Amino acid sequence: MTSQKTVLITGASRGIGASTALLFAKNDYAVCVNYLKNKDAANEVVNRIKALGGVAIAVQADVNKEVEVQKLFEIITKQLGVIDVLVNNAGILKPQAKLIELNEERIKDVLTSNVMSYFLCSKYAIKHMSTEFGGTGGSIINVSSAASRTGSPNEYIDYAASKGAIDTLTVGLAKEVAANGIRVNCVRPGLIYTDIHADGGEPDRVNRLKEKLPMKRGGKPEEVAEAIYWLASDKASYATGNFIDLAGGL
C-alpha cells in the first residue's frame, strides 16, 4: 500500500481517461486505471505510468453494476489506500442517428451506461471520503460533454441527454456533500480527438466540424486532463458545483 494520494479513473484505458491517468501519475498520485473490456490498452497505460516511476494498477469492472463497483473499491483500498479523487469518465457512444430512428434497447443502453456508473462510483467514493463516515474529504470530477448544452441534434441526442443528467448530478451532489469535505465538479469537453468518434461511426468527425468552432481546431485529451487535474487539486479548493467547458468556444 502506498502513502500517496489515490485516484480512480473509470474508463481509463483510452482517450481522455488515459491522458488523465498519466497526468495524475506525473503529479505523484497512485492511479487505478479502470476498464471494461480492453485489458491490453489498460495495461499499456499502467506500464507507461510505471515507466515514469509511478504507481498504478489496472482493474476490470463493469461500473454500471453495484457489486462490481463495491469490489473495485475494495481492491483499490487494499492495494493503493483510501481513495482521494474519483474521475467519473466511463461512457459509450452509438452510431449517429435521429431520435425517430432510435429503439428502446439503444436508449436504455446509452442512458444506463452513461449515467449509472457516475451514481454508483460516487456513492462508494463518498463512503470512503466523507467526514461523516470518518474520511478526510476528497474530490469528484464528472466528465460530461458540450453535447449536454447543444443537444447533439441529428446525431447523438440520446448521448446528449445522458450528459445532461450528469450536469444535474454534479449540481445536486455538490450541494449534498459540500459540508462533508467533498467537492464535486464537472468538465464538458467538446470536439476532442479521441477514439469515441469511431464508435459513433465517423472517426474523422472532429476534422469535419472543427472549422465551425471559434478556435477553428479540435481539442486534445491532454487539454481536458489538465482541467480535470486542476479541479481535483488544492488550487481549486473553493470550487464545487462548477463546470469547465473545453469546447473551443462552442
Check 118, 124, 156, 159 and give the catalytic one: 159
Question: What's the DSSP call for residue 97?
Answer: B
| Residues comprising the chain, all counted | 250
3-state secondary structure of 110: helix
Distances (CA, A) of 180 to 118, 128, 249: 19, 11, 34
The answer to whether the CB of 110 falls within 8 A of the CB of 158 is: yes
Element (H, E) at 182: strand 182-189
3-state secondary structure of 217: coil
Q: Is 29 known to be catalytic?
A: no
Per-residue cell: 136: 478526510
CA angle 41, 222, 122 (to 5 degrees): 70
Catalytically active residues, by annotation: 159
